Structure 1
Amino acid sequence: MPAISIIVPIYNMEHLMRRCIDSLLAQTFTDYELLLIDDGSKDDSWSICQEYARKDARIGIYHKENGGLSDARNYGLSKAIGKYTIFADPDDWVSPEGLDRLYATAEREQADMTMCDLYREDEYSRHYVCQRPQSLQAAEVLKELFANIEGFTVNKLIRRDVYTRFDISYPKGIYGCEDQYTMAAILLHDIKIAYEPVAFYHYMYNSASLTRHYDERTYEMDMRVLEMFRTLLEGNATQQLAVTYQENAVFTRAFWNGRGYYSSAAFKQRFAPFRDRVSSLNEMTVVKGCMVAACRGWYQSAIKLVLFLFKVKQIIKRIKSFVAYSGKV
């Protein structure tokens, strides 16, 4: 039985998945199985999975009908046999020493969940994101999950039997909060938590997220997710904190992605009450100003300005990256 099961759900990632898989195979820790779950890809992802499986006996490959991210993760968990599990997304990558340190800490502390730091980056910049919780008590980490701790499962080594012990699986039919919801479900239980100060995971920012499709069904799904958290945390002291967090997430997604759906008047009609909340959001000052303007009826102008400034910022990053590269050459 391998010590760790690494689960990678894959859907149409032929151009990006090799970097992810290669970085996992380059781990200094070697006692693992790598499960590649092809979720009904329509490109050459499955062929690439087969190629890698022929090269390394630790790789297990599975091809299934498309069911979404949560379904692929649940499928991976059903096939995993490792003592611990961790997930990776095929468009990200990992540093080579990460699993070694996570596993050593998990074993030393006999932890159910071992957390670590991560990087947020794009092709031009990288930012270290510390994920050290203020307390290692599950109830306190649950509160921080809606404040300053990311809900990702990719930077958390979790005992596989935690999922079966508490009958926890990833929620199907939603998009964007699967990890956070599952982490909240786990943290409702008095599990043993440890922390290792290493940035193991490189979370790649995709600028295409600013142009994702948004319509009334998106809003309805976001509201359903909100109710899922309300129900999950009913009777828990964290419920209101989670509800406020998810309400803000509904507003934020609408602001960033709703340009092709909301008129300025429609945005104001739905989100005017959020004007007084904008100051508490984790956004740059100029973005907050535009959000307030959107709540007052100038959404289309505000989002055009923000997207323009974002493009300018990316150009500046590109120039700085080119200058730095030229200097090294």
Structure 2
Amino acid sequence: MKQEAATISIIIPLYNAERTIERCLGSVTRQTYSNLEIILVDDGSTDRSPDICDRYAEKDTRIRVAHQPNAGVGAARNAGMSVMHGDYLFFLDADDYIFPETIATLYAEARSTESDITIGNARVSTGNDRFSEVPSFSYQSVTAEKQAIPQVRYELFYDPGYGVPVWNKLYRSGFLKRYAITFERLPTLSEDRLFNTQCFIRHPVIQLVNRYTYVYCTEASTIMRSKIQAPIEKSLRVVKSMQDSFESIQGLSEFEDLLAWLVFGLINQVARNFTIHHDHAFKEIRDFLVAYKQNETVSRCLRAMASGKYLEGIARPSWVRYARDLSRMLNRGAYTAAASLLFLRFKIEARRRRIE
């Protein structure tokens, strides 16, 4: 007896994405795997995005559209999850697109390996037909035992290419429902990291597919390129949420390294955003560092990073040096030097991207 094809739910949150949503939807409707439930969540757009979504829904019965007041990408994804019926779930940003075989490839791997999370390779589009590749993952499958290896933990919980984003992952719906995993209700930073950490600390079966299945477009991003408002409040909310999650599962000791990486990662996320969007970025970065360091959990994590703890076994020598040096500056209270390092790092990064 032939096995019935599973329904795959694709959730696409969007806000003022009129320039990219048709490219995104075109890539979805052309999938070779056709048993799809396509859920568009318009998060209070003020451009033509809502009309475009409604027009596509009239032409394709697989498409459902929800309109809501602006509440942030996490709330939009939660809205999609609350009405989905699929056996598997795939998140897609409205700025990005997927290849015709993406869903078929990920689903075939998920079914054959009985994985809870299946991850493909990604390409990064920086505009003008220029692409780069996300670095390959060290392992094809990740068991609970492998999740204790420092390099695997780094790639799953910190590396922006694989562990952090929710895009390019096929989640088994039953796994998410079993642990009631959703996005933070309040707008915050690192929504993707928090969501995936909730997944990974439950030791899911993870399978990697060595094929390109996603194109992440940095040149048109409407989700990631907005100014961060209330960065201290949001950063500390993330730290507390993560700490509470760890303590509710098995106690903090098993996950202290992940909390330290999160604390360090938020510094970089905020500094990068300030460098892009703020006229007085250096001062904003320094003020953030001074206030952020006053938090007891942040201070404890940075002391551990400065000592080299949680950095051993990670095969990224330049990142290890950078993380240790910046943490040492902050541990000594050298906020001006730390702000200078961050400001220059992200100024150079932004200039390099413009040249490319």
- TM-score by length of structure 1 reads 0.80
Structure 1 counterpart of 2:47, which letter? D
Whether the 8 Å CA contact 2:39–2:65 is kept in 1: the answer is yes
Change (3 A) 1:306 1:222: same
Q: Secondary structure at the match of 2:157?
A: coil
Aligned partner of residue 125 in structure 1, secondary structure: strand
**What corresponds to 2:51 in structure 1?**
47
Q: Distance between the aligned counterparts of 2:93 and 2:224, measured in 1? A: 19
Distance 2:95 2:214 in 1: 11
Q: Partner letter of residue 255 of structure 1?
A: A
Code of the aligned partner of 1:182: F
Q: Distance in 1 between matches of 2:288 and 2:134?
A: 34
Q: Name the structure 2 match of 1:13.
A: 17
Structure 1 CA distance for aligned equivalents of residues 91 and 224 of structure 2: 24
CA gap of 1:44–1:293, structure 2 versus 1, over 3 A, is same
Secondary structure in 1 matching 2:142: coil
Aligned to 2:262: 246
Note the C-alpha offset of 1:79. Answer: 1.5
1:100-147 deviation digits (Å, cap 9, x = unpaired): 111111111222222222122311332243245475224644834224
Report the counterpart of residue 327 of structure 1 in structure 2: none
Q: Are 1:195 and 2:208 counterparts?
A: yes
Aligned to 1:177: 190
Q: Who is 2:227 aligned against?
A: 213
For the residues of structure 2 that align with 1:136 and 1:268, how far apart are their CA atoms?
35
How many residue pairs get aligned? The number is: 315
Amino acid across the alignment from 2:25: I
Matches within 5 A, 1:264-279: 266=287, 269=290, 277=306
Structure 1 Cα separation of the partners of residues 110 and 329 of structure 2:
48
Matches within 5 A, 1:252-267: 252-258=268-274, 260=280, 263=283, 266=287
> Structure 1 residues 66, 304: CA separation in 2 closer, same or farther (over 3 Å shift)?
closer
Q: CA deviation at 1:173?
A: 1.5
Match of 1:151 among 159, 164, 189: 164
Determine the C-alpha separation between the residues in 1 that align with 2:224 and 2:63.
34
My pick for the range that moved more, 302-311 or 106-115, is 302-311
Distance 1:288 1:88, change over 3 A: same
Distance in 2, Cα, partners of 1:185 & 1:304? 31
Greater CA deviation, 143-152 or 71-80?
143-152
Alignment root-mean-square deviation, CA: 3.6
**Conserved? CA contact 1:113–1:192, under 8 Å:** yes
Structure 2 partner of 1:136? 142
The offset of 1:158, in angstroms, is 1.2
**After the TM superposition, which of the residue ranges 62-71 and 135-144 deviates more from structure 2?**
135-144
Shift, 1:9, TM fit: 0.9
Q: Secondary structure of the residue that 1:102 maps to in structure 2?
A: helix
In 2: Cα distance, 1:214 partner to 1:305 partner: 19
- Provide Cα deviations, 1:248-282, integer angstroms capped at 9, x if missing partner: 12221343233536528646745788697599797
Aligned partner letter, 2:191? E
Could you say what secondary structure the match of 2:65 adopts? strand
Partner of residue 127 from structure 1, selected from 111, 114, 133:
133
Aligned residues: percent identity? 25
Q: CA deviation at 1:99?
A: 1.0
Q: Please list every run of 5 or more consecutive structure 2 residues that lacks an aligned counterpart in the other structure.
A: 294-298
- Deviation, structure 1 residue 301: 6.0
Do the aligned residues in 1 keep the contact of 2:125 with 2:219 (CA within 8 Å)? no
What displacement does 1:205 show? 2.0
Among 290, 294, 297, the residue aligned to 2:336? 297
CA offsets 1:50-84 (integer angstroms, 9 cap, x no match): 11112212111111222221211111112111111
Matched position secondary structure for 1:41 = coil
Q: In structure 2, give the amino acid aligned to 1:9.
A: P
TM-score by length of 2: 0.75
Query: Could you tell which deviates more after superposition, 307-316 or 196-205?
Result: 307-316
Residue 157 of structure 1 deviates from its aligned partner by 0.9
Residues of 2 paired with 1:63 and 1:52: CA distance?
14
> Does the CA contact (< 8 Å) of 1:139 and 1:187 recur in 2?
no
Aligned to 2:211, the other structure's residue is in SS state strand
Equivalent residue for 2:236, pick from 194, 215, 223: 223
What secondary structure is seen at the aligned counterpart in 2 of 1:13?
A: coil
CA positional deviation for 1:44: 1.2
User: Does 2:69 align with 1:65?
Assistant: yes
Q: List gaps (5 residues or longer) in structure 1.
A: 318-329
Secondary structure, aligned partner of 2:166: coil
CA 1:110–1:57 in structure 2 vs 1: closer, same or farther (change >3 Å)? same
